[in-house]
Amino acid sequence: MQPTPDMHIPVLMAETLQWLAPTPGSILVDGTMGLGGHAGAILEANGPDGRLVGFEWDEEALARASRKLAPYGDRLIVVRRNFAELAAGLAELGITAIDGLLLDIGLSSLQLDGSGRGFSFKGDEPLDMRMDNRGEVTAADLINEASAEELADIFYGFGEERQSRRIAGRLVEERHKGRIGTTAELARIVAEAVPRRFHPRHIHVATKVFQALRIAVNRELDNLVRVLADGADLLKPGGRFVVITFHSLEDRLVKRAFRDHPDLKVLTRKPVVPDAVECSANPRSRSAKLRAAEKVRKTLLEGEK
């Protein structure tokens, strides 16, 4: 049975708790609170007096998670910000250091199945794709206003789509007939633009185009790079940094950031992936990869020996 917006299944739950290692009294951050699945488990683990700061920029997801997690009272602090604003958001709360940080970069079932914002091509929805409705640029804006070269760069750079130029050229031709505004229109045009012999066998031919547009609209990779740097600096010595990604572009950024940061020790030599049981129960977990690192103290403070 596929997850629905009201029964979102968090991925790698046991593994997340193992590597994040929440303890009673700790101050932790869930940078992608979503519908609160991981957040609830963390609050159970760091009780009775630990706190969790949940960052979430999707207004509907934040409202649902807040209702779900209301029994934890003031142990949960919710912040409507993207995780790229982690440092500023924590500073406003007077928090200068944390014991752990979790990022789950995947979309929630709410966004895929129930948002009406065009994250999936399975229905026919407006081409929006904004995770935060305060954003100015939608997927439809990009599709209808960007040049063929700009679109091709988006599809190749963010989706690793080898047919990027062919698809971009067809989109420019089609939009001369009228504005492209829905997911069904976009999926149809992509399918028609790519010769049948180049259609992938196991995924829809438009999958990478949809992924690339979502990343571009929400500046996802830029945001990830920023939080990877700021998050490491905000951790206390011994604090854990756990990131779950769902495609290779994100995973490479995390791997490199953990490896190259002078104050982080990589804990997962290879990414942790779901087992067969989880993949069967939740097919959307199949591409998940978890990496973890720990803050170490490389330099002595002034006056220490």
- Residue 4: predicted pLDDT: 45
Confidence class for position 123, pLDDT limits 50, 70, 90: confident
Mean pLDDT, residues 115-124 taken together: 84
Read off the pTM.
0.91
Mean pLDDT, residues 226-248 taken together: 96
Confidence class for position 120, pLDDT limits 50, 70, 90: confident
Q: What percent of the chain has pLDDT over 70?
A: 92
- Residue 174: predicted pLDDT: 97
pLDDT digits (tens, 9 = 90+) for 41-87: 999 999 999 999 999 999 989 999 999 999 999 999 999 999 999 99
Burial class from Cβ neighbours inside 10 Å (0-12, 13-18, 19+) for residue 195 reads exposed
Mean pLDDT, residues 239-248 taken together: 96
Mean pLDDT, residues 22-31 taken together: 97
- The mean of the pLDDT values for the chain is 92
- List, in order of start, the domains of the chain with CATH numbers: 13-110+220-295 (3.40.50.150), 112-218 (1.10.150.170)
pLDDT digits (tens, 9 = 90+) for 157-198: 999 999 999 999 999 999 999 999 999 999 999 999 999 999
Mean pLDDT, residues 248-264 taken together: 97
- Residue 110: predicted pLDDT: 59
| Bond prior to 10 in cis (omega within 30° of 0) | no
